[in-house]
Structure 1
Amino acid sequence: MAVDKSKNTQILVTFPNEMVEEIKKYWHENQLDNRNEAIRQLVASGLKKEQSE
């Protein structure tokens, strides 16, 4: 699937192996389509939490 560059930006991010395992666990527990979706949800959740504090 191509990325719509007018609406999205690709970012290369390096994670520690332990964090990748936590993301993988979240991905599978929540039955998400892929790891990218898991990361997007986790970031959105963190941003939402920061805004509410």
Structure 2
Amino acid sequence: AAHEIPQEVGDFAILLQSGYSRMRALAYNLLSSLATMVGGILAYFGLG
């Protein structure tokens, strides 16, 4: 939902400040988001 947008922007900014390139920061941010979605889907079907 909408509250995730500032969270993702903040995570991206932290990765950039940590020295990651824009592409690497974006890739890590995307990877963590996808892992969260996969976990949510697995939990939904596993517990449902």
1:52 aligns with 2:31: no
Count of aligned positions:
30
Cα distance between partner residues in 1 of 2:31 and 2:21: 16
TM-score normalised by the chain length of structure 1: 0.46
Percent of pairs identical after alignment?
Answer: 13
Report the equivalent of 2:20: 33
> Quick check: which one's helix share is greater?
2
Which of 15, 25, 42 does residue 29 from structure 2 map onto? Answer: 42
Q: Where does structure 1 lack aligned partners over 5 or more consecutive residues?
A: 1-18
What amino acid sits opposite 1:45 in the alignment?
S
Q: Which has the higher contact order (CA 8 A, sep 6+)?
A: 2
What amino acid sits opposite 2:29 in the alignment?
L
Q: Runs ≥4 in structure 1, deviation > 2 angstroms?
A: none
